[in-house]
Structure 1
Amino acid sequence: MSRIVLGVEYAGDAFEGWQTQPHGRTVQDVVTAAVSSVAGQGVDLVCAGRTDTGVHATTQIVHFDAPVERPRSAWVRGTNSHLPASVAIRWAHEVDTSFHARFSATARHYRYLLYNAPVRPALLSGRVGWFHLPLDEDRVRAAADRLAGTHDFSAFRAAACQAKSPVRTIRHARVTRHGPYWLFDFCADAFLHHMIRNLVGALVYVGKGKHPPEWMDMLLTGRDRSKAAPTFAPDGLYLCGVEYPDRWSLPDGGRIICPPELPMVFPCSAPESRSVD
């Protein structure tokens, strides 16, 4: 029995999250069924990180123990032939059984895409977040700078979060703007339930002038979720990849930093762009 790792891309607005549910309308349900069809029998999938309803992924990492031998092309093209258009297997890679999609990971990358304009988007509905009031770029970047490092993120975790500890280490929190499109990039060892959506909500509050950038410090030290901003919509959130030690030789290390097909990443006109680590 060999262990197979898959890179999975999906549009989360078509599903009710990653984790399997009795109703079967989750990403895990459809991918499990498709892989099982290629294997000729049932398989169990393990993912790097569960995504919520409406959250997308350019590279979710999953593994399963294959009960039969198949060429990599079968695990990719064969599985894709059984999947809806909103899900695709990007690649397949064989590893030994000591690999674990969740526990072998060293970092996760997420990007939140925000459309900041008076009128909500139509063509990108469900694929970007939206906020109607102007945001101050310098204030947002100054607030994001305060997030890097190891902190107790209790003020940014959901009440239903099952993590044993609220302490996480953020490697970077970058803010880049392309005209009306804002890109919030986060990399950390792991994230709490709703953590990124809660962070984006707080950054938007700072950007619209409700609080100064120093408010982020107060939230981190206060550890009180009720004092922070509301949870932002899932529409613009993307799992953009997971990092693993080089010894696994996963394609791109399992990591793709941005959603490459979305038009705001490559705007038609020269962008006004500033970013900071």
Structure 2
Amino acid sequence: MLRNLLMTLSYDGTRYFGFQTQPDGNTVQDQLEAAIRQLTGEEVKIHGSGRTDAGVHARGQTFHFQTSSQIPVERWRHALNGRLPYDIRITDAVEVPLEFHSRRSAKRKTYRYSINGNRVFDVFEQPYQLHHPGYLDVMAMREGLAYLIGTHDYTSFASRHSTKQSHVRTIYEARIEVDPGKEGAGSHEQGIIHIYITGNGFLQHMVRIIVGTLLQVGEGKRLPEEMGRILEAKDRAAAGPTAESKGLMLWKVEYNELRDFLAVSDNTLS
């Protein structure tokens, strides 16, 4: 009997050419499919909730696949983690209806981008944070970020190589949180600046371009209200640079209609 399994995973994207299989690169999808093949003997193709670029991390990525294996669902996490590299971990596994699709069924996705605003970076956290030792006006960045909330054409914040027919997306929420760390607020150390953006979907490089433009606002190179004008321009050249991939993390994916199935995970339910 064919079954449909939905899994949540975390991974450190440093060593990988993104989530989705590439012609000549080691990807997270490759590792997952190899682990499933070792476990069941099946050649399966997994379907992720979305792509992440090379070097991007995930705390709550999801994927689904169909299998004829009758391994109890509660055993899959342990069985696959024993076959996966150290930097990829399955955190949840649930059985879902056959018609469920991890990408098409997703209602909301949240990304987090982390910036270390201290003068010296943390050697243990530096693979997951952009280091920016210069002063950033976080209040101005918050003001600029607010212009992007709503339903808009985000062409200005999409890669020129985007193949999507429509660049219209909805950003439901966007906020900036600052963890002052040991030095405390008001010192020369700005702490860790986390930018959270939640939407119904994202274009290629969209969050990283938003962050690169917000950094220019924080540096005083742009005014906060320019974010609105950049959005209206629908021109990639109007926005700032693409921020480094290592500061970006797919934070969580939410499925509103699956609450009866997903009572076990904070990563897949709000």
Q: Same fold (TM over 0.5)?
A: yes
Q: In the TM superposition, what is the alpha-carbon distance from 1:72 to its structure 2 partner?
A: 1.8
Q: Which residue of 1 aligns with 2:88?
A: 87
CA distance in 2, matches of 1:215, 1:208: 14
Which one of 190, 194, 199 corresponds to residue 183 of structure 1?
194
Contact 1:59 1:256 in 2 (8 A): no
CA distance in 1, matches of 2:138, 2:79: 46
CA distance in 2, matches of 1:155, 1:215: 12
Which letter does structure 2 place at the counterpart of 1:61? T
Q: Which residue of 1 aligns with 2:221?
A: 210
Which letter does structure 2 place at the counterpart of 1:90? T
CA distance in 2, matches of 1:161, 1:181: 31
Q: Which residue of 1 aligns with 2:118?
A: 117
Which one of 234, 240, 265 corresponds to residue 251 of structure 2?
240
Q: In the TM superposition, what is the alpha-carbon distance from 1:227 to its structure 2 partner?
A: 1.7
1:105-156 residue CA offsets vs partner (Å, 9 max, x unmatched):
1111111111113344422222111223100121111111111101111110
* SS state at 2:245 partner: coil
Q: Which residue of 2 aligns with 1:126?
A: 127
Unaligned 5+ runs, structure 1: 258-277
Contact 2:105 2:255 in 1 (8 A): yes
Q: Which residue of 2 aligns with 1:100?
A: 101
CA distance in 1, matches of 2:97, 2:107: 18
Contact 2:8 2:268 in 1 (8 A): no
Which letter does structure 2 place at the counterpart of 1:79? L
* SS state at 2:201 partner: coil
Q: In the TM superposition, what is the alpha-carbon distance from 1:35 to its structure 2 partner?
A: 1.4
Q: Name the TM-score, length of structure 2 as normaliser.
A: 0.91
User: Does 1:255 pair with 2:268?
Assistant: yes
Q: Which residue of 2 aligns with 1:143?
A: 144
CA distance in 2, matches of 1:199, 1:256: 25
Residues 75/187 of structure 1: CA separation in 2 closer, same or farther (3 Å cut): same
Q: Name the TM-score, length of structure 1 as normaliser.
A: 0.89
CA distance in 1, matches of 2:69, 2:47: 18
Which one of 218, 225, 230 corresponds to residue 241 of structure 2?
230
CA distance in 2, matches of 1:4, 1:255: 14
Unaligned 5+ runs, structure 2: 181-190
* SS state at 1:238 partner: strand
Q: Which residue of 1 aligns with 2:166?
A: 165
Which one of 176, 189, 205 corresponds to residue 194 of structure 1?
205
Considering only aligned residues, what root-mean-square deviation do their CA atoms show, in Å?
1.5
Contact 2:111 2:197 in 1 (8 A): yes
Which letter does structure 2 place at the counterpart of 1:188? G
Residues 256/11 of structure 1: CA separation in 2 closer, same or farther (3 Å cut): farther
CA distance in 1, matches of 2:52, 2:258: 26
CA distance in 1, matches of 2:248, 2:209: 11
Q: How many residues align?
A: 257
